[in-house]
Structure 1
Amino acid sequence: MRKISGLLAALLIFVAACSSEKNTFTNRAFHNLTSHFNAYYLADVKIKEVENEVRVNYKEDYTQVLPVFIPIDSATIQQNKEKLDSARDLSSKAIEWHRISKWVDDSYFLLGKIDYIQAHQDDAQNAFKYVNSTSKDKDLRHQALISLLRLYIDRGENENANFTIDYLSKESGINDENRYELYRTLAYYYEVRMDPNGVIGALDLALEYVDNPKEKSRINFILAQRYQREGLDALAYDYYNRSLDGNPPYERSFFATLYAQQVAELNASKDLRRVRNYYDNLYTDSKNKDLKDVVVYERALFEEKQGDIPLTLDLLHQAAKEPGSNPRIKGYIYQKLAEINLEEFKDYRATKYYLDSALTFIKKDDPIALEIQSRKVTLDQFVFHQERIELNDSLIFLASKSPEEQEAFALAFIKSEEERLIREASNQEQPKNSNIFNNLLAFSGRETGSSFYFDNGAAMQQGAIEFNRNWGNRPLQDNWRRRSAIFQTSGQTGAPVASIDSTSQQENSILASLPTLENILTKIPNSPESLNQLNQELEESYFELGKLLYFELNEPLMSIDNLETLIRTYPNSSKKPEAYYLLYLGQKDTGGNFQQYVSRLNREFPESQYTYSVNNPDAASGNLAAVESSKGYEQAYNAYYSGNYSLASQLIRSTLEQYPLTRNTEKLLLLDIMVSGKTESRERYRGRLEAYIENTKDEQLVTLARNMLQPLLSEEELAALNADKLAKVDSSAMQAENVKESTGRQIPENTPYKVNEAQTHIFVIGLTPDELEKAKNLLGDLENFHSANFKNSRLRTGNMNMGAQQPIFIISPFTNSESALDYYKKFISDFKSEGMQDEVKKKSFFISIENFQILNKTKNVEEYLTFFRSLYL
């Protein structure tokens, strides 16, 4: 009985200790023990397992400066969701079941870490702030603040980050583990701000507190890379050697020793030989079979530093063919080829195609890929126009020849392509340099010109071409393969045909690049219409290439060459005034005879904006010029409508002379033509209008000029103009029909509005004066509505009067009708404003910029609402 009583008493004590309500020594001890080792410990282990898996799965790119923190891969986090959910559940239990335990704050910190890892940034921020404000454990508070600092850096909240850094800098008693994390986070802060000196300083401090040898090796490697890029080779060499300590991964030790050669001091030819022998040894080492592209690439960079550009290019081309485990390396190789071709040879076409190749090996969202894309925009345009000129020139030349001459030319071209392919195959087998990179072939002992057919690339190429001449482009198959294919086709429905061997596939890919006689002949233009189209394209490309070369590529001599070809080949080009102006600029920059183009502009285009500009080279430009020219236009416009044509003309001329090239220039020129319609002959007025229509780019001004021209035309010319208008009406009708077929909606007949869903749209709220008076808080409510629902859309709100009794509010911009429709639906369902009735909301609509200009003229809102509801609702 005594034993039973003792057991019962112990059980009662244990049960009493389980209570989280009583704050006794026994209760605290029990809850501290169980929360620490049952919940907190298990949750912490699971989180560390996920963090370790992120590290293991991350592929370090040693060709770039390593990031301070390894990026968190969302795919890895998703794969470990169950583990993180379990850690979250355990941390929550440590808080809920053991409220009097001293591990509650630590468990809150774990919840913050889980939220941070899963990118729940707001929840993570709340958890870290809570720990910092409630915990009595100084080390834990420091941990939370450092984690909060990293979160602020991620979110770009620089003010909060600076405040946190300032606060931590004044804190005393930060332990070594937290100091290490603090300095690493400071390095991350400077890394995001692209301050290399700050990163170096912070990581140097972090080294004093790191206790993990592998992590110490990684930091030393980052410091070495940073010092190398700052030109401090001696320090870089030292840190590369330090990074070899701590048993680093093989790949890091490989790159450390490789890069150390780049920064080693080389004072004599024997040093150069030593480095080159080192690269040779790396190349032949079997451990580096997946890093051969890196070895050759780094050797190429080394030779570039020695000034041997031809050898650098040879090595880069070889590196592109070598095996490798990291596809990004191939991207860097092609990027380097592009850089050399641009800087050394100004070969824009080769640069563009090398950058295209680089992008095939680098992910689209990679910062390097985005940088390449931005650099490629101009190069893409250059190559497009250059290749179009070459192609169209050749086709126009061939069109002037007889059919026999055309066929002879096509056959000669095909033969030249065959010879080129054979020559390239032969060149690929000829070693260019007597070094190990070019002598180590896939099959040792085989030499150029080997008698074995499949060892001789030139012979294979020649054989493929001869086969194609005799038998056409057919797969190479043995008799048994054909019999097998026939049997499978007849006896087994859907069974795969035996595959062609790799040699046949290679030869077929070679032959696929050869043009056929029929393909060449069909491309030659055989009608006046097709010839005219080619000439129009040529005219455009010569002009655009001239502009591109002058403004974007800073090649005034090449620009001059293309623009002079344009003027010489197409003397009646509508682009002639601007071409003269560009030639004037180019000749002026190169010290040429720019005055000839001043004379030509004054003689041929005396009233062009470009003529005003060359006559007034010191005239003001920029925003101030635009503002001042707007004032001059307004004064001239008022003078014109008050009948003071002399003053209007004087104001126009003085404004154009002071501010010749602004956004108001074309409006001023049209107003000057309107003045001439009142003061000069009908023929002069008509001639100026026709020239204006041909040279002006603003479609609205062109439409206005055409309307002015219409009363001056003869009946025949009017008929032709009306036929053109009818064609445009038919086009609009066709467009409406297409909308009807695709959406099932009927566009109202004879509507002045056009369907242009890809154009920028605005959202309009129309009110009467009484409704406006009631909706006093409308603007403020709209701002709150946008902050809550369209925070990242950067919407702007303004108001104007469409008529005396029609005030409207405008929300903009929306990139297309789809985004405007999304806003409209959200507005109708969720927007509330005191004094604004639902009927007012129902009258709101969105409209394209083009259609709004029409609406602003007609003021007929109901007409547009009919169009709007037919199309969108």
Structure 2
Amino acid sequence: MRRFSGLAVVIFIFIGACSSERNTFTNRAFHNLTSHFNAYYLADSKIKDVENQVKTNYKEDFTQVLPVFIPIDSATIQQNKEKLDSARELSSKAIDWHRISKWVDDSYYLLGKIDYLQAHQDDAQNAFKYVNSTSKDKDLRHQALISLLQLYVDRGEYENANFTIDYLSKETEISDPNRYTLFRTLAYYYESRSDQNGVIGALDRAVEYAEDKKEESRINFILAQRYQREGLDALAYDYYRRSLDGNPPYEQSFFATLYAQQVAELNASKDLKRVRNYYDDLYKDPKNKDLKDVVIYERALFEEKQGDIPLTLDLLHQAAKEPGTNPRLKGYIYQKLAELNLSEFKDFRATKYYLDSALTFIKEDDPVALAIQEQKATLDQYVFHVERIQLNDSLLKVAEMGPEAQIMIAQNFIEAEEERLVKEAQEKSQPKTTNIFDNLLAFSGKDSGSSFYFDNGAAMQQGAIEFNRVWGNRPLQDNWRRRSAIFQTSTQPEPTQGGRDSLASGENPILAGLPTLESLLAKIPNTPEQLDQTNSQLEESYFELGKLLYFDLEETDQSIENLETLIIRYPNTIKKPEAYYLLYLGQKDTGGNFEQYVGRLNREYPESQYTFSVNNPDAASGNLAYVESSKRYEEAYNAYYAGEYQKTRQLVKSTLEEFPLTRNTEKLLLLDIMVTGKIESRERFKERLETFIQNTKDESLVSLARNMLRPLLSTEELAALAPKDSVNVDSTLVNANLETENQGKEIPAGSPYKVNESQTHIFVIALSPSESETAKNLLGDLENFHSKNFPNARLRTGNMNMNQENAIFIISPFSNSEKAKEYYLKFSEEFKSEGLPEEIKRNAFFISIENFQILNKTKNMEEYRTFFRSLYQ
């Protein structure tokens, strides 16, 4: 009985301790123990496992400055969703079941970390703020503040980040682990602000508190890289040597040794042979077999510093062929080849193709790839026009020849291409060695160089081609069948002249891309229509190339050459006024005879904006000129509608003379043409409109001019005029002509909605209450989407309940439908939010304020969507 009574007392105490309502010593001890080891510890372990997996899966790129924090890979987080969900459940239990324990705030912090890893930034921010404001544990509050600082930097909220840094700087008794994390986060802050000195200073402090030797080694490596880029070689060398401590990964050790040699020897040593021997030793070392491309690439950079550009290019080409484990490095190699071809040889074509190659090895969203895309945009245009000129010039020359000569040229081209492809295939399969062992191994199938005929694809392809040339495309058959085949010739397929083509297209993989004779002959422009199209393309390319060379590539002499060719070959080109103006600028820059183009513009195009410009070379330009010309334009416009046509013309002329080339120039010219329509002949009005349409780049003004021109055309001319939908135009010009909005679009019968393109619009996402609950991060994701894609648009986001079936999210304002449509397209293609179905995205729409008032009354969402699809989809 005594034993039983004692056991009962223990059980009674244990049951009483389980209660989370009674705040006694026994209860607190029980809940502290169980919440710590049954919930918090397990959740923390799972989170650390995921963080370690993110680090393990990340491939460091040691050829670039390493990032302070390893980026979080969303794919890894998604793969570990179950583990993080389990950690979230355990943390929640520690909070719900053990409310009186001292681990509640720690569990809230873990929830914030889970939200941070899963990119639920708003929830993470709330959790960190809650811990900071409620926790009595100073270390935990510091942890939460540091995590909050990292989150602010992620989101680019630098004002909040600065406030947090200032607050932490005044805190005392920050533990060493927290100081380590704080200084790393400060380095991350300075890294995002491109403050090199700030990063170095913060990492210098962080390394003092590092407990993990591998982390310390990595920070030392980053410091060495940054000191090297600052030209502080002695410091860089010291930190590279330090980074070898702590048993770092072999690849990091390799790069640390390589770069240490650079800063210690390569920039100061006169013993170039010794340096080159060092690279040779690295290349031959078996441990570096996966890093040979790195060694050759670094050797190329060294030779560039010595001024040996031909050797640098050879080494870069070799590095591109070497095997390697880092695809990004191949991108950097091609990027370097592009840089040298541009700076040393001004070879824009080679530069463009090297940059194309670089992009195949670098991810699209990588900052390096984005920079290359931006650099390549002009080069793409250059190469397009150069190659089109070369092709069309050749086609026009061939078109002047007779049919037999054309066929001969096409056949010679096919044969030359055939030989080139076979030669390339042979070079790729050349044996590495030619010793007796390879010949012996040929019959065992182990020949590394494929010297045995039936193991050598190129030799077999060459044999197939030679056989086809001699015997044609005959079927395979054994010797003994030949006699019987004599009596079956009527059923056997005849060899054809197209044997080579069929071989190229079907039987021979090497020649699969070889064109046929017929396809080559079809490209030659032999009809008047084809000749006109070819010449039209040439005319456009000569002009665009001249313009590109002058403004973007700053090759004035080449620009002049192309524009002069344009005027000589196509004296009636519609681009002649602008070509004259560009030649005027080019000749003026090079000290040539620019006055001739002033005379030509005044004689041939007295009303052109370019004539106004050359006659007033000292006229004001820039933003102030635009503002002033806008005021003058408004004054001229008001005079036009007051019927004061001469005054309008005088204002337009004086404005163009004083401010000849601004964003208002084409509007001023169109207003002057409208005056012509009031006071001059119909033919003159028509002539000026046609010239304006041909020379104007602003599509909205071109559309308006076309609508002015339509009433002046005959039935035949109208049929020949290419139909074009009107687009949004300047509001001051819309009323000057016919109603052109939404031309060719039908409004659904009986629809209460009206078209008003120029009115303020809003964007609407409609969800049911259950869908709204699922897409709980929608507002935050929209804000991030706006800050990334529309940072200067000042868009506001809100939500409201339209009825019991629909809760709507509203993004506003958009000044007109064109702006709203731009947002709609970007939203459809790129916006992502957890819990938001694709169907909801597809049903989103934009709507004018006037129409929204109608929609808010009718509540008939589908009726408006029918109207929206009819006009905008």
- Tell me if both proteins adopt one fold, taking TM over 0.5 as the criterion: yes
1:754 aligns with 2:745: yes
Partner of 1:4: 4
User: Greater CA deviation, 817-826 or 145-154?
Assistant: 817-826
Query: What amino acid is aligned across from residue 815 of structure 1 in structure 2?
Result: E
Query: What amino acid is aligned across from residue 331 of structure 2 in structure 1?
Result: G
Residue 264 of structure 1 aligns to a residue whose secondary structure is helix
Mapped contact 2:410–2:520 kept (Cα < 8 A): yes
Q: Report the CA distance between 1:527 and its aligned residue.
A: 0.4
Mapped contact 1:410–1:517 kept (Cα < 8 A): yes
Q: Distance in 2 between matches of 1:149 and 1:700?
A: 47
Partner of 2:236: 236
Q: Distance in 2 between matches of 1:683 and 1:108?
A: 80
Mapped contact 1:221–1:256 kept (Cα < 8 A): yes
Residue 820 of structure 2 aligns to a residue whose secondary structure is strand
Query: What amino acid is aligned across from residue 812 of structure 2 in structure 1?
Result: L
Residue 95 of structure 1 aligns to a residue whose secondary structure is helix
Residue 588 of structure 1 aligns to a residue whose secondary structure is helix
Residue 518 of structure 1 aligns to a residue whose secondary structure is helix
Partner of 1:813: 820
Partner of 2:557: 557
Q: Distance in 2 between matches of 1:762 and 1:333?
A: 50
Partner of 1:196: 196
Partner of 2:98: 98
1:259 aligns with 2:259: yes
Q: Report the CA distance between 1:638 and its aligned residue.
A: 4.5
Mapped contact 2:820–2:846 kept (Cα < 8 A): no
> Deviations 1:14-70 (Å, cap 9, x if unpaired)?
222222222222222222222222222222222111111111111111111111111
Query: What amino acid is aligned across from residue 718 of structure 1 in structure 2?
Result: S
Query: What amino acid is aligned across from residue 821 of structure 2 in structure 1?
Result: F
> Deviations 1:325-352 (Å, cap 9, x if unpaired)?
1221211111111111111111111111
> Deviations 1:124-161 (Å, cap 9, x if unpaired)?
11221121112111111111111111111111111111
1:586-735 pair list within 5 angstroms: 586-640=586-640, 644-675=644-675, 687-698=687-698, 701=701, 718-724=714-720, 728=723
> Deviations 1:371-399 (Å, cap 9, x if unpaired)?
21121111111111111111111111100
Q: Distance in 1 between matches of 2:666 and 2:257?
A: 64
Q: Distance in 2 between matches of 1:262 and 1:575?
A: 55
Q: Distance in 2 between matches of 1:277 and 1:143?
A: 50
- The 1:793/1:429 distance shift into structure 2, 3 A limit, reads farther
Mapped contact 1:686–1:709 kept (Cα < 8 A): yes
Q: Distance in 2 between matches of 1:584 and 1:221?
A: 55
Q: Distance in 2 between matches of 1:723 and 1:576?
A: 27
Q: Distance in 1 between matches of 2:702 and 2:163?
A: 57
- The 1:424/1:373 distance shift into structure 2, 3 A limit, reads same
Q: Distance in 2 between matches of 1:22 and 1:872?
A: 65
1:146 aligns with 2:151: no
- The 1:23/1:311 distance shift into structure 2, 3 A limit, reads same
Identity among equivalent positions (%) equals 71
User: Greater CA deviation, 48-57 or 453-462?
Assistant: 453-462
> Deviations 1:742-773 (Å, cap 9, x if unpaired)?
xxxxxxxx9944389xx99777689xxxxxxx
> Deviations 1:75-128 (Å, cap 9, x if unpaired)?
212222222222222222222222222222222212211221122212211221
Q: Distance in 1 between matches of 2:194 and 2:7?
A: 68
User: Greater CA deviation, 136-145 or 567-576?
Assistant: 136-145
Q: Report the CA distance between 1:190 and its aligned residue.
A: 0.7
User: Greater CA deviation, 304-313 or 691-700?
Assistant: 691-700
Mapped contact 1:824–1:845 kept (Cα < 8 A): no
1:795 aligns with 2:791: no
Query: What amino acid is aligned across from residue 115 of structure 1 in structure 2?
Result: D
Q: Report the CA distance between 1:229 and its aligned residue.
A: 1.5
- The 1:822/1:631 distance shift into structure 2, 3 A limit, reads farther
Partner of 2:787: none
Q: Distance in 2 between matches of 1:700 and 1:140?
A: 60
1:307-326 pair list within 5 angstroms: 307-326=307-326
- The 1:826/1:675 distance shift into structure 2, 3 A limit, reads closer
Q: Distance in 2 between matches of 1:285 and 1:377?
A: 42
Query: What amino acid is aligned across from residue 109 of structure 1 in structure 2?
Result: Y
Partner of 1:36: 36
Query: What amino acid is aligned across from residue 647 of structure 2 in structure 1?
Result: L
CA-based RMSD of the aligned residues comes to: 4.3
Q: Distance in 2 between matches of 1:795 and 1:107?
A: 39
Q: Report the CA distance between 1:664 and its aligned residue.
A: 2.8
Mapped contact 1:762–1:814 kept (Cα < 8 A): no
Partner of 1:82: 82
Q: Report the CA distance between 1:479 and its aligned residue.
A: 8.7
Partner of 1:569: 569
Q: Distance in 1 between matches of 2:419 and 2:851?
A: 78
Q: Report the CA distance between 1:841 and its aligned residue.
A: 7.1
1:120-139 pair list within 5 angstroms: 120-139=120-139
- The 1:82/1:141 distance shift into structure 2, 3 A limit, reads same
Q: Report the CA distance between 1:411 and its aligned residue.
A: 3.1
Mapped contact 1:762–1:813 kept (Cα < 8 A): no
1:156 aligns with 2:173: no
Partner of 1:291: 291
Residue 573 of structure 1 aligns to a residue whose secondary structure is coil
Query: What amino acid is aligned across from residue 78 of structure 1 in structure 2?
Result: Q
Mapped contact 2:183–2:203 kept (Cα < 8 A): yes
Q: Report the CA distance between 1:2 and its aligned residue.
A: 1.9
Query: What amino acid is aligned across from residue 796 of structure 1 in structure 2?
Result: P
Q: Report the CA distance between 1:528 and its aligned residue.
A: 0.5
Residue 211 of structure 2 aligns to a residue whose secondary structure is coil
Mapped contact 1:525–1:531 kept (Cα < 8 A): yes
Query: What amino acid is aligned across from residue 55 of structure 2 in structure 1?
Result: R
Q: Distance in 2 between matches of 1:382 and 1:421?
A: 28
Structure 2: gaps spanning 5 or more residues:
440-448, 480-503, 727-740, 748-754, 763-793, 801-806, 829-838
Q: Report the CA distance between 1:468 and its aligned residue.
A: 6.0
Q: Report the CA distance between 1:653 and its aligned residue.
A: 2.0
1:438-449 pair list within 5 angstroms: none
Partner of 1:519: 519
Structure 1: gaps spanning 5 or more residues:
431-439, 481-503, 733-749, 767-782, 799-808, 847-864
Query: What amino acid is aligned across from residue 205 of structure 2 in structure 1?
Result: L
Residue 293 of structure 2 aligns to a residue whose secondary structure is helix
Q: Distance in 1 between matches of 2:867 and 2:146?
A: 58
Mapped contact 1:468–1:511 kept (Cα < 8 A): no
Mapped contact 1:762–1:812 kept (Cα < 8 A): no
- The 1:344/1:845 distance shift into structure 2, 3 A limit, reads farther
Partner of 2:377: 377
Q: Distance in 2 between matches of 1:622 and 1:266?
A: 49
Residue 102 of structure 1 aligns to a residue whose secondary structure is coil
TM-score by length of 1: 0.79
Mapped contact 2:109–2:127 kept (Cα < 8 A): yes
- The 1:429/1:307 distance shift into structure 2, 3 A limit, reads farther
Partner of 1:483: none
Q: Distance in 1 between matches of 2:317 and 2:203?
A: 37
Q: Distance in 1 between matches of 2:795 and 2:709?
A: 50
Q: Distance in 2 between matches of 1:291 and 1:613?
A: 59
Residue 795 of structure 1 aligns to a residue whose secondary structure is strand
Mapped contact 1:753–1:867 kept (Cα < 8 A): no
